[in-house]
A and B are shown apart, each in its own frame.
Chain A
Amino acid sequence: MSKPRYTIAVTGLNAIDSPGPGVAVIRGLREAVSFDVRIIGLAYESLEPGVYMDEVTDKTYLIPYPTAGTDILFDRLMYIHTQEKIDVIIPNFDAELYSFMKLENKLRDSGIRMFLPTFEQFEERHKVNLSEFGKKYKLDVPESIPVTDSYEIQKHIAALDFPMMVKGKWYDAFIAYNAEQARTYFNKIAAKWGLPVVLQKYVHGTEYNVTGLGDGNGNTIAAVPMRKQYITDKGKAWAGISIDDPKLLEITRRFVSETRWRGGFELEMMKSSDGKYYLMEINPRIPAWVYLAVGVGQNIPEALTLLALGQNPPAYDKYDVGKLFIRYSWDMIVDRSEFENFSVKGEL
């Protein structure tokens, strides 16, 4: 029986030292057993490696940054749609999700499907709101306080103590060991990602992450926990191993059923020395290490695509434990004309 062939557009092609998830998502899609794919890359920069990886993207288009506004993004997506007849878009950046969520209905009317969290889910899990989120769903979270002025740091020192985490609302996190460092990181993060900046109680322990997929009705379609084996200076895993931890999976299922989470996600957890798990962050999209989940038997990009298309993929109930992913760098040789084409015409 022949398989259907879907045209799927994917963002996050920046497979660099702090990689976007796009290339890993595409690898999962290309290994899907229930459909074939034509992959359309959506890139914000002309030097995103995925643009030039022929085995990854069939065609790539430049798209405008979220700051350009949703109207301009919509117009660009409609142009690409007329060329490519897109079935599904999988956005992979936190900072772009809001724009795509705003466009979800308009895009659906044009025949493009997505499977994204709701606005409520997106907002309440935001690290700015994490303390409230923990209380509401009875999940242990470290105390988090959003601040909009570096002078506010002083009054929260007693509650948080040092070291404390200083986090950007989208990306970046630093450990501050004194007030001076906290103020420096505050200014650095505020300049890059805007306000508020989040101060968070530091939790000593081992970091574990779970990637998964919720169907929007409270069911967990996929969940794979991983321990980071090695991290870069930006805190990104460059190696990790799948583990069997019933407690982590129980927390994940509770998170999905309580929030009725819709879409892919990553839970960043910290296991303290007394064995207690703290939910540090909820990323409302598929993480860059998702290919480990694919490799151990849970193809999250495939299942997410099926959900976006209105189908009901069965929930994965097992995965291989003790499998590692090890990330590596790879230099491509690209002709100047390709770079020129993409930079000038915005498509390749």
Chain B
Amino acid sequence: MKINPNLAVSESGFLFNPGTGESFTVNPTGAEIIRLLREGLSLEQVIDAFTEQFQVDRHTFEKDLHDFSGILKTYNLLEKDE
């Protein structure tokens, strides 16, 4: 899963899509997920990174990540072919 490369992402979690003019805010967890995806990590690797770094069980995080990626897709924040 790849984030729309044109998306402007600030450290504060503010997202701006220059193609549509839409803007969004995400919490620190969302911002970290987006940062890792932009670095080229796969969803599986994001799950590994989070479960290593934070006290969260793999199953719960996987479910939340699935919901979050659905939101990213709904708002056209992923690459076109995703």
Contact = CB atoms under 8 A, between A and B. Distances in A.
A243 B8 contact: no
Nearest to A227: B21
Contacts of A72: none
B67 to A, nearest CB: 22
Contact of A206 (B6, B8, B18, B20): B20
Nearest to A241: B21
Interface in B4-26: 6, 8, 16, 18-23
A227 B20 contact: yes
Contacts of A208: 21
A244 B8 contact: no
For this complex, into which size category does the number of interface residues on chain B fall? under 10
A245 B16 contact: no
A293 to B, nearest CB: 15
A244 B19 contact: yes
Nearest to A321: B18
A226 to B, nearest CB: 7
A229 B22 CA distance: 8
A88 B45 CA distance: 64
A322 B8 contact: yes
B79 to A, nearest CB: 15
A54 to B, nearest CB: 35
Contacts of B23: 241
A245 B8 contact: no
Majority SS at the chain A contact face = strand
Contacts of A322: 8, 16, 18
B6 to A, nearest CB: 7
Contacts of B18: 243-244, 321-322
B56 to A, nearest CB: 34
Contacts of A227: 20-22
Contacts of B22: 227
A237 B26 CA distance: 26
A20 to B, nearest CB: 25
A242 B23 CA distance: 12
Contacts of A243: 18-21
Interface in A217-239: 226-227, 229
Contact of B19 (A226, A240, A245): A245
B16 A244 contact: no
Contacts of A226: 21
Contacts of B19: 243-245
A275 to B, nearest CB: 9
A78 to B, nearest CB: 45
Of the listed residues A227, A240, A242, the one surrounded by the most CB atoms of chain B closer than 10 A to its CB is A227
A101 to B, nearest CB: 34
B75 to A, nearest CB: 12
A321 B20 CA distance: 11
Nearest to B76: A275
Interface of B: 6, 8, 16, 18-23
Given A242-B21, A322-B8, 14 more contacts: A226-B21, A227-B21, A227-B22, A240-B21, A241-B21, A241-B23, A243-B18, A243-B19, A243-B20, A243-B21, A244-B19, A245-B19, A321-B18, A322-B18
10 contacts: A208-B21, A226-B21, A227-B20, A227-B21, A227-B22, A229-B21, A243-B18, A321-B18, A322-B16, A322-B18
Interface pairs A-B: 7 shortest CB-CB: A227-B21, A243-B21, A244-B18, A321-B18, A241-B21, A245-B19, A322-B16
